[in-house]
Structures are given as structure tokens and as C-alpha cells.
Amino acid sequence: MVQAASAIPGELPVPPKGILRVVYLLDAASSFEEKLLRDRVACHATEPGTSVQAISIPASRRRRGVVGSELEAALAAGDDALVAPLRVAWLARGDKAEQSVPFRELLWRGDPRDPNRLHAWWIGRFARDRRRIVAGEPALASELRDRWRQRMESDAGATLGFAEFVARQAALALERAERKLRGARYKIPLFVREEILARPSFRGELSVIAGRLGREPAGVLREAERDLVEIAATHRPTMVDQVVAQFRRVITRGYPGVLQFDRDALERVRALAQHHTVVFLPTHKSNLDHCVVSVLLHDNGLPQNHTAGGANMNFFPVGPIVRRAGIFFIRRSFKDDEIYKCVLRHYIDYLVEKRFPLEWYIEGGRSRSGKLLPPRFGLLAYVVDAYRRGRAEDVVLLPISIAYDQISDVSDYTAEQRGGEKEREGLGWVVRFIRRLGRRYGHVYVRFGEEISLAKVLGTPDPSAPPNPEDRSLELQKLAFEVCVRINRATPITPISLVCLALLGHGDRALSLGELAGSLRNLVDYVRRRNLPVTEEILLETPEVLEPVLDPLVANGLLLRHEDGLEVVYGIAPEHHLAAAYYRNTVIHYFVTGAIAEVALLRAAEPDVGNRTEEFWHEALALRDLLKFEFFFPEREQFVSELRSELDRQASGFESALERGPDAISAYLAQLRPFHAHRILRPFLEAYRVVGLALARRPTETPIDEKDLLRECLALGRQHVLQRRIQRQESVSRTLFATATKLARHRGLTETGGTELALQRQRFAEELLSTIRRIDAVEALVRARQAGILD
């Protein structure tokens, strides 16, 4: 057996000269592994006069056993022994150590990376190249004792014994060594529960909570233990492989091509993750988003993120499975649960401190409209707080945009926007979601935005500094806002998003290939002039190139193709305008500033205006304020600068045109290509006016029930579409009505009051009507250009 053990690949550490004793710590999951390790130690040559001792420690892979007295005695000896941890690593079938385990092999023989005794014997007999001796970095007992003392001093009151500390350090050293063999994708946390529950800071905080709640500390601690089990992810390398493999199958069912991403940007992320905690903050457009990030990381040798998931997704069997692949679950609401908040805070502290990557959606939930949603601050506040308290030298926030040619979820989103209820998550919901991916939806694109360093933004952490809640709240909001801005900046424009943008600009009217290509020509030119990010070179200006882009949209029912007449025409299919608007809205932020400028110019050209320059900026800033809950506008000064740059890019001399009067403004407007306002702003303004009219009808002395108001707006909006008082069907959207209601609440229009409140509500509706009439004027300019009247 000694001879067989010596044949196992893997080098044992060579003790430096002068070492009188080597203590090998054997991390063995079975008696068979222990014998392999002891035999290997026995046949390992050492310097004359150097004694060797092999001691078993609790197996980190099976998490059983306790630190024995033998290790305590060995560490208490007077000489400064070299402590060297050893482990047997078992590889999956194949040549590569990082190769995933086939599911059929798991069913037939069990996990080959953690074999039972019979399977281990079989591997040793017939596949010896699949086992390795892994040696962790050795350390002198004196060095380990110094580390232990520093740990005790930094966490005053900790009760971790020296021998137990050494055993944990050995397990961590072996994990690092085994990652060199298997790859960084299998970086997983060890001793999460043990370390968090043993921290004096954690126990002290729980004691304070117990006193405040009038409860026994032991009962509070037991509840905290249950909460930690409820929250924490429990990574298992084999489950990571299996879950990612299933994610890959699900993705390729609807998106057969490879994921499109910037490899240089991913290498930058890899370099950042080696030194800092990286927080991945992707957009949330689809239930596939997490699958996409997981597959991307796994296929490129990066570890799985600790990803926050809502407790609504923690249903059997999905929850228990994905928890073992890195998802931790959080309750939707826990505002008044002090124990739960304490546990979550210390769990995030632990992940930040140990530099494990995190991931969550800064929007909170999936976007039903296609636009990026306003940020949620909860988890970001926990991470920023951990950084401020010195848990890490730096934390890097990584904005990520995930874009799709088409999304299978869109049909659900449109149903919800029309007033339907969100389908409850469960196993049946998962099956239906996967079935729906049987169609072809194009490609998936991942784009990394410019990262944000908390050290650069917030400065060096000073745990002793007294907190200023107001300043910290403002800093957090600015930080979240900047993340969203950088996500938008990284979002690529897809050909389908431009097609939907062009078609929606024509309302219900179908277009021939030539007409649609002509409508797209100025849009494509605008994208090129601004050098906006795109998924591919966009060539939509000719019918020959355009038709292959339209065919998948027809196949999935978004567009209607009529080919029985004199020429083939394409239009948005009935009841699918909200779906088309979804794709338009994914890139709408690139066109908003130009659309506002057009409306402001038209206002400045009206005959009742005195100082036209002042009125131009007044109108532009009023529109910015009106739409501030829809878009991520910069600060006032920067917005003015960006609007000025937008117009100067289109044509020079807009300020002199304002000074010269209406004719000069009209001449300037004629130079703008393309016009944006009718495509971009009309749906929002029409939806906002419906809310304004609904509010104006309500008695001011009665409190507003916002759910009831939304139902009324949906009914009123449908009526206005039938009466042609609303030109865009996508204006009837619960999402838009909800945001308009939020604006009305912000302006005090949903409160109770008297005559003055009634007048304010009426003015709100009338101001929106005036702006919509300016949008009508933009559409008149578009028709004039199409007719050749306006050059």
C-alpha cells in the first residue's frame, strides 16, 4: 500500500533546513482517504533528524468530527513545528481537472469528487490518474499562534481555541491549493455559519436586541441561527456544475448562439476580483438573467456569485438546488424584524470581508416596460455600510447590461401592464417558462459598464467616524443613481429595438419594406454619428438587409406581414404594441434629450412667447421635471450642457435661431434628423394625461385609493384609444399610469383639499395637453418631410 500511495500524483512540501518536526494535518473524508494520506507521508523522505507526525483533523468535505487532543498536544510542544495540511482530491472523468461531472455519472456512481469507499477503491484500481494529493501552504506553529492572537485581539471576546483555529486554517489552505488544481470557478466559502455565529460582535448585537425585545439571549440566538440557515447559500462544487449545465440547456433552448460579451472587459473583471470584493449589478429583463451571468462566469473559469434571490423563488425543488449553486434567499419584507436584519447584515459583512463576489438586481424586480427601473437601496446600503466599517479596503460595483434580441417573458409583461396579475412562482411556472423557450429568440448580449470603486467615491473607511444619516442617505442615492447611469451607458442597441422604435412612430399604420427602410435610415445614421453602443453593425437601410431582421418578429407574432396586396407590408400585430414598446424602451434613454429639445424649440416658436431663449430652457427643464421618475436625468447644469451638445451635434446655431424668432426656429427645426419626440415622448405624455384627467374628475375631499385610481386609468385609457383621443396604444399601460401617479403624489395632487387642489389637478391635465399638441406639431413636420414639403 505504501508503494501504491507513493504513486498518487502530488508533491508533499519539503521542510526547510533546521525544522526538527513536521506535523501533517490529514483532512480525510473517510478511513480509506486517511490510509492513503498516512501511507504517502510514510514514504515521503525527510531530512535526517526531522520527526514526522500525522494527525487527522475534522473533514472539511463531510463536515464531521471535532479537533482531538492529539492536535492540541502537538501544538503545545516546545519546538516550532512545521504544520502542513494534506488532502486527497478526486477528479471527474476526463483529462481536465475542472471538467464538469456528467449527470448520468452522478446517478450511477455518485459524486466522483467525493466518492464513497467503493467508488474510491474503483478509481484507485482503474483510474489512478483521477486522484491527487493536495498539500496546503505550510506554516510554522509560531506563525499560526501569532495569527490566532491577532484574530482574538481584532474580535475581542472570541472563544475559538488555538487547535480549532489551526484546523480551520488548514482547511482554507487546502481549498486554495485545490483551486489551483480545479480552477477558480470552485471558490466557495467554508465555515460560514461557524464563523458568523462565533463572532463576539454578532453575539453582542444579539444580546442588545434581546434586551430591547425583553427576550432571553439564548432564544434570540436560536432564532438567529434559523435565520442564517434560511438566508445563506451553501455552495457545492458538483451542484454548481449541474445547475450551470441546466442553465446552459435552458438558455440555448431559446437562444442557440453563444453568449455575446466583451472578453477584454471580462478579463478586467477577473483582475479586479483577485484583489477586491466585486458586486455584480446586472439589469433584470428576464428570468434568464441569472442563468446568463452564471454560465458566463463558469465557462470562463470565474467563481459563482453569491446572488440574492427573493424568498418567492425559494420553492421546492428549485430553491434547495440553486441555493447549493450560490443563491441566498431574502424575505421581501423584514423591516420590523431586528434579528433578521442583524443576521443579514453580518452575512453580507462576512462575504465582503472574505472577498466573495456578490450579485443582485439593483432594480429589485424585472422591468415590465423595458426601461431601467429606479434603484432599490437595501442590499447596496448593507454593502456600503460594511465598507464604511472597514470590512474591506475596497468594494467594486460592476454595472452590467444584459440585452436580448427578443424576450419570452414579454407576453407576461404586457398582460400585467393591461391590468393582469403576476403569475405566482412555482414548479408549474418553471415548466411553462421553459416550454415557451422552444421558439427562437435571437441572441443574448452581456455588456460591462465602467466599474465604481467605493474607495474612490467614499474615501478611506473610518469606522470611528460618527455617522451622519442624511449625508449617508444622499451618498447612497447618488451611488445607486450612478450605477444606473452606467448601466444605461453600456446598454447596446439591437436592430430589433430600432425597428420597433421606427414602427411605433407610425402608430397603427403598416409600412412597406421601402418605407420602413426609409424611416430607419435617419435613425441608423443618428446612432452612427453619436457612436452609440450596438450589438452588431446595424445595416437596416435597404429592404434586402431589413427583411431577415423582420422575419423572426413575424414568426413570434410581434409583427404582422400582409403579402396579398400589391406589395408586402409590415405592421405591429394587434394587441402587441406594448410588446413592441418594450423593445423600444430598452434603448429609449439615448433619444430622450433630443426629443425634449424638439418640444422646447416648438414652444419657443409659439407666438405668445416673449423671451424665446428663456422659454426654451424653461420648457426643457419642465419636461425634465415631468419625466424625472421615468428617466435618469443628470443634474440640472449637466442636463443643460448635454441638451446643448445634442442640438449642436445635429445642426449649429440653435441659440441664434432662438434670438431671431419663429421663422429662424422653424428653419433650424427643419435641419434636425431624425425627429424623436413623436416616437419617444408621446406615450408617456398621453398616459400622464389620462392620470391627470382621472384625478381632475375625483372630488378633492375624498382620499385617493391608488389601486382604484389605476383601475380607472386603465378603463379610461382604453376608452380614449377607441375614441382616437389617444394615438398610441402603448400609452395604456399600468406601469406608465403608476409612474404618473407617483409624480402626482410627489406634486401633492393625490392629497385631499379644496378648490385650489381641484385647480392644480386641472392645470396638470391642461399642461400635458399643451405639450401633446407640440408633439402633434412634430408629427406634422415628419409628414411634411415624408411628402417632400420639408427638405
pLDDT at 398: 98
Residue 738 confidence (pLDDT): 97
- Let me know: does 690 contact 716? Beta carbons within 8 Å: yes
**Quick check: 281 and 487 in contact, CB under 8 A?**
yes
pLDDT tier for residue 297 given thresholds of 50, 70 and 90: very high
- What pLDDT does residue 204 have? 93
Residue 403 near residue 582, CB atoms below 8 Å? no
Which of 313, 311, 303 shows the shortest CA–CA distance to 354?
303
Q: pLDDT band for position 68 (50/70/90)?
A: confident
Q: Smallest Cα–Cα separation from 147: which of 682, 155, 235, 748?
A: 155
Angle between helices 662-669 and 592-604 (to 10 degrees): 150
Which amino acid would we find at residue 680?
Answer: I
The one-character DSSP state at 493 is B
The arithmetic mean of pLDDT across residues 306-327, rounded, is 92
Q: Which amino acid is present at 498?
A: L
- Could you tell me the CA-to-CA distances from 695 to 84, 259, 699, 715, 771 in Å, in that order? 75, 47, 8, 14, 18
Q: What is the mean pLDDT of the chain?
A: 91
pLDDT value at residue 636: 95
563-584 per-residue burial string, b: 16 or more CB within 10 A, e: under 16:
eeeeeebbbbbeebbbbbbbbb
750, 741 contact by CB (below 8 A) = yes
H/E element, 469: helix 469-490
Q: Which residue has the cell 490518474?
A: 129
Q: Model-level pTM?
A: 0.93
Using one digit for the tens of pLDDT, what is the confidence trace for 462-478? 887 778 888 889 999 99
Q: How confident is the model at residue 20 (pLDDT cuts 50, 70, 90)?
A: confident
Cβ neighbours, 10 Å, residue 742: 16
Report d(CA 500, CA 43) in Å as an integer.
Answer: 72
Give the per-residue SS3 of 673-708: CCCCHHHHCHHHHHHHHHHHHHHHHCCCCCCCCHHH
- The average pLDDT across 183-209 equals 90
pLDDT digits over 369-427, tens only?
999 999 999 999 999 999 999 999 999 999 999 999 999 999 999 999 999 998 888 88
Q: CA of 639: how far to CAs of 194, 299, 677, in Å? A: 51, 41, 17
Q: Which of 360, 396, 392, 395 is nearest to 379 (CA)?
A: 360
Q: Answer whether the bond into residue 102 is a cis peptide, omega within 30°.
A: no
Under the banding of pLDDT at 50, 70 and 90, the label for residue 30 is confident
Which set of grid coordinates corresponds to residue 735?
A: 406601469
CA 594 to chain centre: 29
The closest of 341, 91, 308 to 202, measured between CA atoms, is 341
- Determine which helix (DSSP H) or strand (DSSP E) holds 144, and give its type and residue range: helix 141-154
Q: For residue 231, what is its C-alpha cell?
A: 438566508
| Contact assessment for residue 123 and residue 112, using Cβ atoms and an 8 Å cutoff | yes
CB 414 within 8 A of CB 370: no
Q: Which residue has the cell 446598454?
A: 491
Helix (H) or strand (E) holding 150: helix 141-154
Question: In this predicted structure, what is the pLDDT of residue 98?
Answer: 46
pLDDT at site 108: 67
**pLDDT higher than threshold 60 for residue 790:** no
* Residue 5 in this model has a pLDDT that exceeds 50: no
Tell me the CB-side half-sphere exposure of residue 63, using CA atoms within 13 A.
7
Is the confidence at residue 49, as pLDDT, over 80? no
pLDDT of res. 103: 66
**Which burial class, exposed, middle or buried, applies to 89 when counting CB atoms under 10 A from its CB (0-12, 13-18, 19+)?**
buried
Residue written as grid cell 506535523: 23
Q: Are strands 452-453 and 395-404 parallel, antiparallel or unpaired?
A: antiparallel
pLDDT at 95: 42
Q: pLDDT at position 8, please? A: 54
64: pLDDT strictly greater than 80: no
Statement: residue 519 has pLDDT above 80 = yes
Residue 10: which of 86, 96, 117 has the closest Cα? 86
Helix (H) or strand (E) holding 24: strand 21-27
Residue with cell 416673449: 610
Q: How far apart are the C-alpha atoms of 508 and 690, rounded to whole Å? A: 20
Tell whether the model's pLDDT for residue 156 goes beyond 60: no
Give 331's pLDDT tier (boundaries 50, 70, 90).
Answer: very high
pLDDT at 261: 96
Between the CA of residue 425 and those of 284, 310, 476, 757, what are the distances in Å? 16, 11, 31, 42
Q: Are strands 51-57 and 21-27 parallel, antiparallel or unpaired?
A: parallel
pLDDT of residue 110: 74
Between CA 162 and CA 172, with CA 166 as vertex, the angle to 5 degrees is: 145
Mean pLDDT for 506-530 is 93
Average pLDDT rounded to a whole number, residues 54-66: 81
Q: Are 247 and 337 in contact (CB under 8 A)?
A: no
Q: Given this model, what pLDDT does residue 151 score?
A: 82
pLDDT over threshold 80, residue 522: yes
DSSP-assigned letters across all residues of 101-120: PPHHHHHHH--TTS--HHHH
Find the range with the poorest average confidence among 62-71, 326-335, 632-641.
62-71
Cβ neighbours for 58, distance < 8 A, ≥ 6 positions apart: 64, 65, 66, 67, 167
Residues in the chain: 791
> Does 1 have pLDDT greater than 80?
no
Helices 734-746 and 706-722, packing angle to 10 deg: 120
> Mean pLDDT: which of 127-136, 173-182, 599-608 is highest?
599-608
